[in-house]
Structure 1
């Protein structure tokens, strides 16, 4: 049997919420899982840990909000700091994906599915996490 199984977790880390997405074991398809509402770092980890264990996650894929000119702004630096803490706490490697426009794409996907993104911003975050993870998966399969 060739091919390795992947268990990556996609994260869309915002100031108020973290969108979480997972992928199938073949690493082909990302799907939204849940949204974590920030209370504290420890609470966030408490919510993430069972997902990491249950899905046997081996890597975290984090969306990095580059500025439109390709620079890393304040928000991106905060995401990196937060991701560093997650990496140390969960003992998992982190890879970053350019997440520009993923929230906009996520809204469009939800609207096309007749879901109301304006009423549930958590849905947008989870869908954005799936887009982030899907970009990473696609880069691995179709470099």
Structure 2
């Protein structure tokens, strides 16, 4: 069962996909969009859902360090609702606190140039969101055994 992770931003959406067993997340792409043409964004997400056989989606929910949700969180909630409605698959929101900062650190440690980091940071943030979700689900299933 493949799961898609999405890091929803104001002009880009980072996309990650799990392996078929749901153990690891791999970055797929960063989708650029403009607000008045969001249908193109949903078209691309739909193509990826079909291509990878995605059965559920995890959307990052931005919060500040104390857990308070911002206006950006409201946009992410609305986006998640739209994905659920358009593709008729389960969508969960997942705390994405500090994922962009963590992705930035990983890319810097890998000696990725500033220009290249800007192009891939949302995709890497989606990987971190999805991987933390997969790890949590795996721990929960171990505890249930």
TM-score under structure 1 length normalisation:
0.91
- How far the C-alpha of 1:139 sits from its partner, in A, is 0.5
What is the distance in 1 between the residues matched to 2:65 and 2:112?
Answer: 28
Asked if 2 retains the 8 angstrom alpha-carbon contact of 1:12 and 1:125, the reply is yes
- Contact residue 7 and residue 14 of structure 2 kept, 8 A: yes
CA contact (8 A) 2:80 2:92 kept: no
Q: Counterparts of 1:42-57 in structure 2 under 5 Å?
A: 42-57=39-54
Deviations 1:50-98 (A, max 9, x none): 1100111011101100122212111101110111111101111111111
2:18 corresponds to which of 16, 23, 26: 23
Distance in 2 (CA, whole Å) between partners of 1:126 and 1:14 is: 11
- Following superposition of structure 1 onto structure 2, how do residues 64-143 of structure 1 map, counting pairs within 5 Å? 64-116=61-113, 118-120=114-116, 121-143=118-140
Report what 1:3 is aligned to.
none
Between Structure 1 and Structure 2, the one with more helix by share is 2
Q: How far apart are the structure 2 equivalents of 1:91 and 1:23? A: 19
- 4+ residue runs over 2 A deviation: none
Gaps of at least 5 residues in structure 1 are 1-5
Pairwise CA RMSD of aligned residues? 1.1
